[in-house]
Structure 1
Amino acid sequence: MDEQHQGREERERERTAPGTAPAVRPLDGFTIGVTAARRAEELGALLERRGGQVLHAPALRIVPLPDDTELLAVTRALIDDAPDVVVATTAIGFRGWVEAAEGWGLGEALLHRLAGVELLARGPKVRGAIRAAGLTEKWSPASESMAEVLDRLLEEGVEGRRIALQLHGEPLPGFVEALRAGGAEVVGVPVYRWMPPEDLGPVDRLLDATLAGGLDAVTFTSAPAAASLLRRAEERGIRDALLAALRTEVLPVCVGPVTALPLEAEDVATLQPERFRLGPLVQLLCRELPGRVRTLPVAGRRLEIRGHAVVVDGVLRPVPPAGMALLRALARRPGWVVPRAELLRALPGAGRDEHAVETAMARLRVALGAPKLIQTVVKRGYRLALDPHADTDKYDGEDAQVRRVAPGC
């Protein structure tokens, strides 16, 4: 058994040793929305492995390539009239193009044509797809950036050249315009087409959860998915409310700057990993979400308030939604008495009966496993038992709320 595998087993035994609480994982207690249409299972598994609760709502669907008549027409045109350059942008798109051509009986003709042109690959994944098809790329940028591809083409000179560009649903701001301004003829190759999902139920549930405070973060892996979510919110009349939530309470995380464009056009600050991959995106969430929670010294214990759970002295305590609503209301002014009427307003779907507060508070105390964390003040309300030595100014009022800082600030 290798050392890495043995160490992994030892850590697992430590987490599950009798009489000890499992170690709190980075995303335990957080709910994260996933809008991806493809690779959603992979992203969801990465998040769940680190403790996250995933709400999957594919904001788009991909039209199968063999059904796309526009791609068929472009493929025939490129076979009949060879381009000078072909820019391949995604592995799934390039593979799908070749497979679709084979289905139309044009596979051999397309590969023969591509073998005789200058073939550029945006990154290592599409480079692998090109080589798997028996072809060889001429060049691929180390940065995996379309901006670097554009710079190379313009440096070579594009006047009078015919350039086929694999489109993949993402906006390519200025790319086509710059090539045409340089005198190139640009032929777009629409390898797959983004369409709204057939079932809007999951998207609506994600939107409702975002507005109700049921999400801590929402992830985007394509610009069309972000635009589609905004469009659905517009159709439901909740676009402004969604944007307000994404600017404040809910953390929007995008796989890269191009994906973030529809959100940033609406003045929504997003977070992005340094490397535009799912793994780094998950690592970013693992750093950011725990770093944004409120941690309070209460009744001699360390209380960490997460999205749908609380960590008490390093032990994860799941809390029902009503209890979390009460706890957040108390934590806005830790140590101060919060009247029952104010707590009643904080309860989701609460009516006018203050006994609902008492019932939810009793369940909250049980969930926390330490009843003394919350004190009852007779005829007045409830308060968090903030430690006497705590700096009350530090925790008092709305300024204590965790705020998002825009990238680069």
Structure 2
Amino acid sequence: MTTSQPHALTGLTVAVTAHRRAQEQGGAFERHGARVQYAPALKITPTDEDDDVVAAVRETVASAPGTVLVTTGYGVKRWLAVAEEHGLREELLAALRASTVYARGAKAKGQLQALEIPCAYTGSSGRTAELVDRVLEAGAPGTVTVQLHGTADEEQLERQRSAGLDVRVVAPYRWESADEGSRLSLLVREIAAGDVDYVTFTAAPAVDAVLDAASAAACRDDVVASLREGRCTAVAIGPVCVQPLEEAGITNAVVPERFRLGAMVKAVCDHATAAASR
């Protein structure tokens, strides 16, 4: 395995599109010598109205024990916070503890463990599809409740409905634009020109937001070409995040083996070190 050098990124520019933990990410790249610019694409916000979340709480309680697919730790926290505001936290906790709960990844599992909610299965790929595979293999009886991670994965919901399952969703939060001024517009032009060496993504919707910004700036083809050719290298924190890049024909993104911020920084350092030695 390549060892990251302390100044592996000296002279290189890394663009950070994250909103959450952006300064932490940027600081890690700066410690390796990079110039960092920030262009947050999207941010997580609570839903405007809690009515649908409260309804999902009541449905989960009424249908327990069922099957629950947890996609994010934050989603569980937000779901329980809404339940608490309406005096339903303990009922929801009891329903979740009585149900068969699957976690999409380690962070979701960690949140379940903190709440003393048994986790029957933890995905290793980071994809909701893996949990749905497990549900369909198990022939899970009763209601399946899917905690959405900002947007609905209609393909996976339809797979379960087509199998005759009673599928319900809860959306404790949503994505909205985090762009202030014209930073995204400037970023996509810099990517197109090859003036940015790496652009990092920690959520799949952020990829779509950047490509949409490129379309609005009339330079999408140039951005995609720059990323495909490696004049600017895309960096995705995991297999879910990289999916929209691959769908756009960008198949050379840097993806760490572990879906963690530190691992992503190391992967970029290793990539830059390897490129410099060629």
Short-chain TM bin:
0.7 to 0.9
> Does the residue aligned with 2:120 lie in a helix, a strand or coil?
coil
Q: Deviations over 1:113-140 (max 9, x none)?
A: 2122112222332222112223222332
Q: Deviations over 1:273-292 (max 9, x none)?
A: 22222222111100112322
Residue 226 of structure 1 and its aligned partner are, at CA, apart by 0.3
Q: Distance in 2 between matches of 1:135 and 1:66?
A: 28
Alignment of 1:317-396 (within 5 A): none
Counterpart amino acid of residue 242 in structure 1: V
The answer as to whether partners of 2:46 and 2:173 remain within 8 angstroms in 1 is yes
Q: Distance in 2 between matches of 1:101 and 1:75?
A: 7
> Does the residue aligned with 1:289 lie in a helix, a strand or coil?
helix
1:117 pairs with one of 78, 94, 99: 99
Residue 36 of structure 1 and its aligned partner are, at CA, apart by 1.3
The answer as to whether partners of 1:166 and 1:190 remain within 8 angstroms in 2 is yes
Q: Deviations over 1:343-362 (max 9, x none)?
A: xxxxxxxxxxxxxxxxxxxx
Q: Distance in 1 between matches of 2:186 and 2:215?
A: 15
Kindly indicate whether residue 227 of structure 2 is the aligned counterpart of residue 243 of structure 1: no
Counterpart amino acid of residue 264 in structure 1: E
Alignment of 1:172-187 (within 5 A): 172=153, 174-187=155-168
Q: Distance in 2 between matches of 1:234 and 1:126?
A: 34
Q: Distance in 1 between matches of 2:195 and 2:242?
A: 22
Kindly indicate whether residue 30 of structure 2 is the aligned counterpart of residue 30 of structure 1: no
Q: Deviations over 1:308-364 (max 9, x none)?
A: xxxxxxxxxxxxxxxxxxxxxxxxxxxxxxxxxxxxxxxxxxxxxxxxxxxxxxxxx
Structure 1 residues 76 and 50, CA, compared in 2 at 3 Å: closer, same or farther?
A: same
Structure 1 residues 122 and 262, CA, compared in 2 at 3 Å: closer, same or farther?
A: closer
1:85 corresponding residue in structure 2: 67
The answer as to whether partners of 1:161 and 1:183 remain within 8 angstroms in 2 is no
1:17 corresponding residue in structure 2: none
Q: Structure 2-normalised TM-score?
A: 0.87
Alignment of 1:171-320 (within 5 A): 172=153, 174-197=155-178, 199-248=180-229, 249-269=231-251, 270-293=253-276
RMSD of Structure 2 on Structure 1 (CA): 2.4
Q: Distance in 2 between matches of 1:173 and 1:275?
A: 27
Flag structure 1 segments of 5+ consecutive residues without an equivalent.
1-22, 296-401, 403-409
The answer as to whether partners of 1:171 and 1:258 remain within 8 angstroms in 2 is no
The answer as to whether partners of 2:66 and 2:99 remain within 8 angstroms in 1 is yes
> Does the residue aligned with 2:263 lie in a helix, a strand or coil?
helix
Residue 85 of structure 1 and its aligned partner are, at CA, apart by 0.5
> Does the residue aligned with 1:215 lie in a helix, a strand or coil?
coil
Q: Deviations over 1:124-172 (max 9, x none)?
A: 32222112223222332455554442332122114x5310111113674
Q: Distance in 1 between matches of 2:71 and 2:139?
A: 20
Structure 1 residues 173 and 262, CA, compared in 2 at 3 Å: closer, same or farther?
A: farther
Q: Distance in 2 between matches of 1:92 and 1:209?
A: 33
> Does the residue aligned with 1:214 lie in a helix, a strand or coil?
coil
Residue range with higher mean Cα deviation, 35-44 or 281-290: 35-44
Residue 184 of structure 1 and its aligned partner are, at CA, apart by 0.9
Q: Distance in 1 between matches of 2:143 and 2:10?
A: 52
The answer as to whether partners of 1:170 and 1:259 remain within 8 angstroms in 2 is no
Alignment of 1:10-89 (within 5 A): 25-65=7-47, 67-82=49-64, 84-89=66-71
The answer as to whether partners of 1:25 and 1:51 remain within 8 angstroms in 2 is yes
Residue 65 of structure 1 and its aligned partner are, at CA, apart by 4.8
Flag structure 2 segments of 5+ consecutive residues without an equivalent.
none
The answer as to whether partners of 1:34 and 1:40 remain within 8 angstroms in 2 is yes
The answer as to whether partners of 1:171 and 1:223 remain within 8 angstroms in 2 is no
State the percentage of identical aligned residues: 36
Q: Distance in 1 between matches of 2:130 and 2:124?
A: 9
Q: Distance in 1 between matches of 2:273 and 2:154?
A: 34
1:164 pairs with one of 145, 152, 156: 145
Say how many residue pairs are matched.
Answer: 272
Structure 1 residues 80 and 45, CA, compared in 2 at 3 Å: closer, same or farther?
A: same
Q: Structure 1-normalised TM-score?
A: 0.61
